[in-house]
Amino acid sequence: MNHLPQAWGRPRDDIYGAYDSSYLQSHGPNQHTQQPIVTGTSVVALKFKDGVIIAADNLASYGSLARFTDVKRLRTFADTSVVGFGGDVSDMQYLDRLLTSLDTEEAYSSSGHTLNAHNLHTYLSKVFYKRRSDFNPLWNQILVAGLDGESKPFLASADLLGTTFSSPSLATGFGAHLAQPLLRKVAPDEEAAAKLSKEQALEAVKESMKVLFYRDARSLDNYSIAVITKDGIDLKENEKLEKQSWAFADQIRGYGTQIN
């Protein structure tokens, strides 16, 4: 899967050849979502000693147009988990409402117990799989961050195909290419992540967000970031990337008009 949400879930042209659109007919079988419209780009997340840090920028793009610049792509669930959404924004809104209704149902009982991040991830992955099996996918890749049943840090991914995986660090979209290697450097495995302090993890995530802003044309330097621990969620929705340095930019060759 590459960084373009438009390409997600399609057979790769370089392997299977271009899609033969003559198969598409205006009358005929039902057509569901064929492509995302308004999209969010990367979500990055990293486990640390006491919890998980997750971040996503506040941009919703309409194709290559930076259309909405205040879109919050980290959604909280029951003050215990955070879901970060990449991909289609309207599908994200739909899923967010689904999570609200789930949260309401959980609050019917006053026991104080609710679904943990692990339960939430299982549920969302089933929703994705059901929808893709109906040929009507929800065009997202998501990261679920929180704590599992044993109050250990939990981080896992689910996507429009119903695919799931888990790792001490995860990133969606462009981040899977650019941020993931950086995060793996600080947390190559679970043992390493379990030794990370919150400060170290924060620094690694913020650095990843900065690199993504440098190199991903569909990104923004306004972002949201959440730290999830057993004490709850610390969510900041209007952060600005600090200490940007564009000195590398004039070394770039091969794009646009160049004099030398």
Partner 1 sequence: MCLSALNPNTRAIVPGAPKVQQTTELQRPLQIPIHPQLLTLRTSQPTLEHHGTGYDLTNSVFSPDGRNFQVEYAVKAVENGGTSIGIRCKDGVVLAVEKIITSKLLKAGANKRIATIDRHVGAVSSGLVPDGRHFVSRARDEAASWRSTYKTPITTKDLASRMGGYLQAYTLYSSVRPFGITAIVAGWDSELELPVDGQVGSGPSIGSGGKVEGMTFGGPGLYMIEPSGMYWGYYGAATGKGRQTAKAELEKLDLAALKLSLQDGVKEAAKIIYVAHADNKDKEFELEMTWISNLDGPTKGRHQEVPKDILEEAENLAKKYLEGEDDEETKDDDKPAEGDKMEE
Partner 2 sequence: MFRNNYDNDSVTFSPQGRIFQVEYASEAVKQGSVVVGIVSKTHAVLVALKRNAEELSSYQKKVIAIDEHLGLALAGLASDARVLSNFMKQQSLSSRLTYGRAIPVERLVSSIGDRAQTNTQHYGKRPYGVGLLVAGVDETGPHLFEFQPSGMTQEMAACAIGARSQMARTYLERNLEKFGACGREELVVHGLKALKESLAQDKELTVENCSVGVVGLGKGGKGLEGFKLFDGQEVKQWVDLVAEGAEEKEGEGEDEGMEVDS
φ/ψ of 81, rounded to 5, equals: -135, 155
Q: Does 72 bind partner 1 (CB under 8 A)?
A: yes
Q: Does 109 bind partner 2 (CB under 8 A)?
A: yes
| Residue 33 appears among annotated catalytic residues | yes
When binding is defined by CB under 8 A, the residue of 30, 101, 111, 260 that contacts partner 2 is 111
Residue 38 CA to residue 94 CA, distance in Å, equals: 13
Query: For helices 89-106 and 117-133, what crossing angle results, to 10°?
Result: 130
Nearer to partner 1 among residue 74 and residue 145 (C-beta): 74
CB 139 within 8 A of CB 40: no
Task: Pick the piece of the chain touching partner 1 (CB under 8 A) from 15-23, 128-136, 176-184, 200-208.
Answer: 128-136
CB 234 within 8 A of CB 226: yes
Note the maximum CA span of the chain: 69
When binding is defined by CB under 8 A, the residue of 44, 53, 54, 92 that contacts partner 1 is 92
On the CB side of 78, CA atoms within 13 Å amount to 24
Q: Does 32 bind partner 1 (CB under 8 A)?
A: no
Q: Does 107 bind partner 1 (CB under 8 A)?
A: yes
Q: Does 163 bind partner 2 (CB under 8 A)?
A: no
Q: Which residues bind partner 1 (CB under 8 A)?
A: 60, 68, 70-73, 89, 92-94, 96-98, 100-101, 104-105, 107-108, 110, 123, 126-127, 130-131, 134
The residues annotated as belonging to the active site are: 33
